[in-house]
Amino acid sequence: MANRKSIIYRVIFVAIFLIYCGLGLFSVYWLDEVTEHPIGSDFSIYYLAYMDAKIGDNPYLPYDIGTSYVYHPFALTFLSLFSARQSEVATLRYWILGGVLAWVGTLWLMARMATSNFWDGRNVSLNGSHLVRILLLAFLAFGPLWETWHTGQINTFVVFFLYFSFYLSETNRDIAAGVSLALAGVLKTSPLLFLAYFFVIGRYRVILSTCVTLVVLTLIPAVQFSPRVVWDFLTILPSMGTEIHPTAYNQSILSLVFRFVKNLGYANWGSGLVLGHKVLFAGLLLSLLGAVWLVKERSKALRFWLFCALVTAMTFFSPLVWYHHSVFLVLPLGALLCYNSKATQFLSVAILFLLQLNRLFEYGVVRAAIPVLLAHSVLICGIIIIFFREWRRLYHVRRSQPMVSET
């Protein structure tokens, strides 16, 4: 009987996984056939910017979110490491291969962080071999990942360097952690938010290392191309945080809410929505960081869940959220998947399926990223609840300490 039940469970698991993979494949079909995005469509933006910078032109013009280059100049230097024979096609091959290796490294980091005592082993319900298999199965068939590779996006490199900075800091290699965070920050600006994370946990050497590395990584493209390229980047930087970009591709909650109210005839609400969006984001950050500041003992579990909460908030509150940005969420999703609670494990699977379902929903129902928004909303709530559960435990321990010493 037990053997029969085991076979049934395996059949169900295989069926669910095949559906999951099918939805991921449909995401690629939707991108390639329905919206006609060729392989390397985003990489071409980087490559053309690189070629402009080489001849002294402004790589940031014309400025148009979604079709123009908007990253730190060092990202052009980073791309030049993959250039081959002045051929865009050959360079793209090496770029995608590098992205694949970065993703393998990310999965390795996740497995290391979950199977070791990175976030309090008492809360991990899966043994190491099961965990690695689940991570491989879940996140190799991940729709946002396939879109990242298909378009030649830079995300897998950023995810690796961001996660690696956390891993290195937890293994007391602060200087290297700062270098890794700086690399993540010059490939995509938003990870620099984690300077605040390292500040509240008291890792000041990571902050110093990050700042020094940022200066060095800014000087390199200034020498390689021209000092003007740094100024060109600074001129477009303020615009990126003050615009809504309400296109069907932008899955930000700011974009979706603006599109909704605009259809109701309230297009003049744009500036108010931008302000409200920033206030909510700032309020959440202050709540998370302030809570950690209040407790003296910052356990591994508290640091881990704070890191996951900030990764999720960084993605959720970005004014620009493309489908492939969900690759940033693999660590929070993996943590829920491995957490010692049936509810959180079910929640993680449900979120994964919502993310996989999004392109089919946009194709067959309405061109709005409602499944992604729902998935991100549920994920950020789940991670924050676990974070504050751990925080409350430490806070009570701290309050009880004076009583213990008096007795």
What are the pLDDT digits (tens) for 177-187? 999 999 999 99
List, in sequence order, every residue forming a beta bridge with 339; answer none if it has no partner: 124
Average pLDDT over residues 41-47: 91
Tracing tokens 């100024």 back to the chain, one arrives at 231
Average pLDDT over residues 223-249: 82
Average pLDDT over residues 296-308: 84
Average pLDDT over residues 216-231: 93
Average pLDDT over residues 47-64: 88
List, in sequence order, every residue forming a beta bridge with 124; answer none if it has no partner: 339
With a cut of 70, say whether residue 106 has pLDDT above it.
yes
Cβ atoms 297, 397 nearer than 8 A:
yes
With a cut of 60, say whether residue 406 has pLDDT above it.
no
Cβ atoms 185, 214 nearer than 8 A:
yes
Q: According to the model, what pLDDT value does residue 405 have? A: 38
Q: Which two tokens stand for residue 240?
A: 């990126």
DSSP single-letter state for residue 87: B
Calculate the average pLDDT of the chain: 85
Cα 175-77-67 angle, rounded to 5 deg: 115
In which band, very low, low, confident or very high, does the pLDDT at 287 lie, cut at 50, 70 and 90? very high
Q: According to the model, what pLDDT value does residue 224 have? A: 93
Q: According to the model, what pLDDT value does residue 404 have? A: 40
With a cut of 60, say whether residue 251 has pLDDT above it.
yes
- Measured from the Cβ of residue 62, the count of other Cβ atoms closer than 10 Å reads 7
Handedness of CA 381, 387, 388, 393 (dihedral sign): positive
Cβ atoms 197, 291 nearer than 8 A:
no
Q: According to the model, what pLDDT value does residue 383 have? A: 93
Q: According to the model, what pLDDT value does residue 1 have? A: 58
List, in sequence order, every residue forming a beta bridge with 84; answer none if it has no partner: 87
Q: In this predicted model, which residue has the larger pLDDT, 16 or 188?
A: 188
